[in-house]
């Protein structure tokens, strides 16, 4: 899984972007008994730029807690016709 998010970010950067700002991907994944939160950034970003962006991003712990709260919400039941 490590290389795929960066590849997806690069693909979005090349095909979907209209601005010059770098693309940042957020991966939220529920595994068997834990929540995984990761950021993926374009390989084209310089280390200095990555460090600056990391200071502005929402901390992973906050995203993880929010995702856990979302998953704990009651799910709507599917309506049958």
Q: What is the 3-state secondary structure (H, E, C) of the chain?
A: CCHHHHHHHHHHHHHCCCCCCCCEEEEEEECCCCEEEEEEECCCCCHHHHHHHHHHCCCHHHHHHHHHHHHHCCCCCCCCC
> What's the mean pLDDT when you consider all of the chain?
76
Instruction: Tell me the whole-structure pTM to 2 decimals.
Output: 0.59
pLDDT over 60 (residue 60): yes
Average pLDDT (56-64) is: 88
């Amino acid at each position: 899984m490590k290389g795929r998010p960066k590849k997806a970010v690069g693909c979005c950067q090349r095909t979907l972007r209209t601005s010059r700002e770098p693309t940042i991907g957020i991966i939220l994944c529920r595994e068997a008994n834990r929540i995984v939160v990761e950021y993926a950034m374009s390989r084209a970003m310089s280390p200095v730029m990555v460090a600056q962006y990391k200071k502005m991003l929402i901390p992973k712990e906050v995203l993880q807690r929010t995702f856990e709260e979302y998953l704990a919400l009651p799910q709507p039941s599917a309506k049958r016709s």
